């Protein structure tokens, strides 16, 4: 995939706790939230990219992603 092809995909990105129902939508590159307060920190955190339109491309689309989670007590 060429570098500019990712711009043609219409998608929404979410950070989710322990599945895909407890989610917060991301806008931009960073997210700070208290949504996950009091949730079990041993459960997984997921980055979910929901594609609305592939913009002429065909699945699959690769979206490199990394997450750093900071917990405070």
Residue 73 has what pLDDT? 67
Q: How many domains are contained in the chain?
A: 1
Residue 1 has what pLDDT? 39
Residue 3 has what pLDDT? 45
Residue 66 has what pLDDT? 81
Torsion sign over Cα 52, 53, 58, 62: negative
Structural domain for 7, as ranges: 1-73
Across-strand partners of 45?
Answer: 17
Alpha-carbon span 48 to 22, nearest angstrom: 11
pLDDT, tens only, 6-58:
557 788 899 999 999 999 999 888 888 889 988 998 999 999 988 887 777 66
Q: Token digits for 48? A: 């979910």
Which one is predicted more confidently, 45 or 70? 45
């Amino acid at each position: 995939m060429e570098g500019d092809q990712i711009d043609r995909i219409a998608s929404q990105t979410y950070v989710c706790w322990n599945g895909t129902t407890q989610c917060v939508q991301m806008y931009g590159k960073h997210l700070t939230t208290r949504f996950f307060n009091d949730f079990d920190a041993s459960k997984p955190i997921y980055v979910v990219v929901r594609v609305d339109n592939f913009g002429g491309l065909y699945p699959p689309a690769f979206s490199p992603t990394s997450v750093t989670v900071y917990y405070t007590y």
